[in-house]
Each structure stands twice: as structure tokens, then as C-alpha cells.
Amino acid sequence: MVDRPFNASTHLLDARLGEGKEQHVALTGPLGTLTYRELADRVRGLAAGLRAHDVRPEERVVLFMPDGPALAAMILAVMRMGAVAVPVSTMQTGKELGSVLRDARARVLATGAPFLLAAEQAAAEAPELRHVVIDGDDGFTAPAQAALHRLDALAQEGNDGDPYDTWEDSSALWLYTSGTTGTPKGAVHRHANIRHVTESYAREVLGITATDRCFSIPKLFFAYGIGNSLFFPLSVGATTILDPARPTPASAAQRLSEGRPTLFFAVPTFYAALLAAGLPSDTFSSVRLAVSAGEPLPPELYRRFTERFGVELVDGIGTTEALHIFLSNRAGEVRPGTTGRPVSGYDLRIVDSDGNDVEPGTPGSLLVRGESLATGYWCRTDTTRRVFEGQWLRTGDTYVADGDGYYTCLGRTNDMLKAGGIWVSPTEVEARLLEHPAVTLAAVVGLPDADGLDKPVACVVLKEGTAATPDELIAFCRAGLASFKRPREVLIVDKLPTTATGKLQRFAVREFAASLLAAR
């Protein structure tokens, strides 16, 4: 049985033209502004140009570009003409990008400044590449087998017809993730998945409307970011603010001041950085709702942010495999320290090591099912079978649910540690450390002691102008937690290892802490 025709690009964009949104601003930011009519014209031109150069439906188009109108238009154009958009992290080296190009069997790479050098190195290592699209006029040497195209010229090289006759189950988007297993792999998403996240989380939790303006710290190559900055605003005719630069508190404050967003998205570590930056209390005056995801939001960080800036902050969890957030707090119903309740359209289970459902109050592994789940990983059969269990996705997170249906994260399943034979949640210890007036960031990992038994070790960043000793912080934890949960060591450091969006890299924190202890 053939699935129903459906194309996510026309669902997000063409439908807005039929609603009279032609002159409403769709995208804005340092790289330019486009109305919905201008964006639609750009998308149709690029889709036609790709077709004219024999880019075929279901082929992968890797997008190694900064956040801006060009990247947004390319994502939508690729989906419109039936190919598969593969936006990838611009933090990758040329070698890493080359691995993705080969893994995806990509015949098309689109890139632009300031990532041309890495892209050129990657293209040289991708023998199946046939086209390179460059945004701008900077120099680029394409490999012998690949034709070089300028993005603006490409949009003039064909005549757009109807969108390709994709189905709900047709592949629209691949997102590469290390996620649950540590090895980068492409999560395959259908056209219908995009509709589902706009009709569930975006409507229910965000309450997004055409009057909203969205600004996301996570970029478009993240599942979290592409929903925040593209799928959600375009689904209702709202405006998105795209910043090509790597985010800092200063750059975020500038975008907040100039762009006046109403919806703001970041990760907990970035919220901590915003607080530590000493920004004026009216920095978020335009924002009606702030969203946190990517890692658990400590209750003390929630308290500090809401009291400082007067904005409601809701925490949630999503995964690349689920495309966006499926478990979330709601405005006016936040329980600090929890991840909230399931989003409509998703079912959750917490199971023990044998796969049996546990009672409320009992920790276990979190599983989720819903219409936005990826169909699996590209060419990763064994991993797909381990992570996708029938209709259910094993998230790799340890959770506990209370009798009211609120879920609390106890850490990644492989981040949990035992002290004295009792499970300890790193996030619980981190939350306690953040309650200390001198602490701005904290990460707790398990490291072996002299007996080879893992014990909690904390890496702590102090607020500028404050002081605290390791012994003082250990005593502070002992006073607020069961004694066995206290860190056995506290390391005062200048910064913590993070990803491009400021998310803690726990494996790197563990290695960093181990090296500091070994150097004593």
C-alpha cells in the first residue's frame, strides 16, 4: 500500500503563501532577511537548479553551512525536490566531514565561508561527490570529478515545477548523531516526522503563533535547533532569527536586543553562562518563554534565571532520533528539577534491566514511542536493532516518575555511578553544588579510587570574584545530601569541556578530571 502524498517543504512554506503571509518576515539575522514570498522563490529556484544538474530524488545533499537564509533555503529546496537534506555540524574538521560524505554516499555538498577550507579537504576524500555548491565568491578547488556551482547562479539554472511526489514515509532529513552509542551515524527521518513535531510540541508546549519570533542558540544542524529555528516558526508563519556565529553571552544579548525574540532556546550550560556574564535584568524583556533541553536543568539554575530575568523557563528532553522534545514542563506548571510530563502524541515507559515496567518512584531506563521517531540509522543494522525496539526508542537515559506523572532525569544510563554500593545521580550532586553562591558551573563524574571503585569527583567553575575551597564545597554537599553522595574530590577549574552549543561533554570532563588528579 502506497503512503499518502506529503512533502514537508510545501507543508512548511507553500501553505503559508496560501494564508496571506507573503510579505511577513520569515528569516532575519546578520546574513540577511527574507519574507515568506522571497524565501519561497529562493527555495523553488534552488530546487529547480538541483534538478537541472541531475540531482535525483532520495540522493543525499550534505549541507556544511552557517545558519542563515542560504542554509534554510537549501534544506527546504532539497526536501521539495525529493532529495534528502543532511545538515551537519560546522565544528567538524575536514577529515570528519569527509567521513560523513562517504558514509552518506553524498553526491552533493553545499558550503560557504568560513568553512571552505574544511569542505575542500573533505571533498577531496569523497570519490562519489559530483557537485559542490558554494555560497559566495570565495575560492574553492573542487575535486576533478565534481562540478562547482555558485549558489546564487544555481537558483537561476532551472524552471521549477511541482514539488516531487514524496510520501509521508519518504526520507526527508538525516541528522548525524553520536547519541546513544558514541559512533556518529545518520538518523533517518521521514517527511511526516516534521509535521508531527510541529503539531505536538510546538503547539502544545510553545503555543507558537504567527506573531512569535524564535531565537535558538543550538544551530540548524542539531535536531533541537532545526525545530526551534525552522520547522516551528515556518509551520505557523512566524519569524526566525538566525545567527551564523558561534554563540556567546554577548552575541546572544545582541540578538535579543536587536531581534526582540519572543521564544528563546538554549541548553543549561548556556543559561549558566548567561547568568555569569552579568547581563542587565531586562535582557529578556521581549521573551515570553525560554526553553531548555540537551541536559537536565538543575533547579538552582532554574531559580537563578527566572529570578534574574523574570522569564518562565521550561525544561524538556528530546533526542536526535525523536527529532525534538517529547517530555517537557509547561509554562505555569513547572516543577523545578523535573523534565515535566509527556508531550501529547508520545508514550513513555521506564523499564528495569529485564525490560519490565517499574513502579512510580523506581529508577529505570527511559523508552519513548511516537510518530516523529526516526526509522533507524543509515547502514547501522546492529545499532538500530539495539536502540529501536519495535515501536519504542531506548533513549539511554535513567529516569524516575512520580505519582503525578512528572519525570526526573537521573543521568545517562552509563553516567550513573555507585558509591558504597548505592547508585548516585551525577545531576543530583551537580544541582547541590550549584546552590553554593560561589559556583557557576559543575560537572560530576565517576573516577576510580585506589581500590578501583568509582567515586564521585566534581569539577567546579567559580563565579568571578568569589572563592571557595574544595573542602568547603564537599562539606556543603554533605550538609545537603546523603553523605555517600558527596564528591570525594572537588577540582576548581577555569572552564569545562563543552560542545558547540555549550553542552557538557561528560567523557571529556572525565578525562580532564583524571589527568588533573594524576598530575598531583
Q: What is the pLDDT of residues 217-237, one digit of tens each?
A: 999 999 999 999 999 999 999
Res. 1 pLDDT band, cuts 50 70 90: very low
Grid cell of 515 as nine digits: 589527568
Q: Say which DSSP state 196 is in.
A: H
Q: What Rg, from alpha-carbon coordinates, does the chain have?
A: 23
User: Contact 12/231 with Cβ under 8 angstroms?
Assistant: yes
CATH for 190-412 is: 3.40.50.12780
Question: pLDDT tens across 452-464, in order?
Answer: 778 899 999 999 9
Grid cell of 409 as nine digits: 532525569
Q: CA 24, 27, 30, 31 torsion: positive or negative?
A: negative
In the chain, % of residues over pLDDT 90: 82
Grid cell of 3 as nine digits: 503512503
CATH 3.40.50.12780 residue ranges for the chain: 8-167, 190-412
Question: pLDDT tens across 84-136, in order?
Answer: 999 999 988 898 899 999 999 999 999 999 999 999 999 999 999 999 999 98
Question: pLDDT tens across 483-511, in order?
Answer: 888 999 999 999 998 876 677 888 899 99
Q: CA 60, 61, 66, 68 torsion: positive or negative?
A: negative
Please give the pLDDT value at position 421. 57
Q: Which CATH class is domain 417-518?
A: alpha beta
Please give the pLDDT value at position 419. 75
Please give the pLDDT value at position 229. 98
Please give the pLDDT value at position 266. 95
User: Which residues of 60-137 form beta strands (DSSP E)?
Assistant: 60-64, 84-87, 108-112, 131-135
Could you give the CA distance from residue 338 to residue 420 in angstroms, rounded to a whole number?
Answer: 26
| Residues 6 or more apart whose Cβ sits within 8 Å of residue 1 | none
Grid cell of 1 as nine digits: 500500500
Of 334, 414, 319, 413, the C-alpha closest to 369 is: 319
Query: Across the chain, what does the average pLDDT equal?
Result: 93
Mean pLDDT of 357-365: 95
CATH 3.30.300.30 residue ranges for the chain: 417-518
Question: pLDDT tens across 36-76, in order?
Answer: 999 999 999 999 999 999 999 999 999 999 999 999 999 99
Question: pLDDT tens across 136-175, in order?
Answer: 888 899 999 999 999 999 999 887 888 999 999 999 999 9
Res. 181 pLDDT band, cuts 50 70 90: low
Please give the pLDDT value at position 179. 57
Res. 296 pLDDT band, cuts 50 70 90: confident
Please give the pLDDT value at position 503. 78
Could you give the CA distance from residue 57 to residue 324 in angstroms, rounded to a whole number?
Answer: 25
Res. 482 pLDDT band, cuts 50 70 90: confident
Please give the pLDDT value at position 182. 54
Question: pLDDT tens across 367-413, in order?
Answer: 999 999 999 999 999 999 999 999 999 999 999 999 999 999 987 77
Please give the pLDDT value at position 501. 65
Of 469, 467, 457, 461, the C-alpha closest to 440 is: 461
Mean pLDDT of 471-484: 91
Please give the pLDDT value at position 420. 62
Q: Which CATH class is domain 8-167?
A: alpha beta
**pLDDT above 60 for 30:** yes
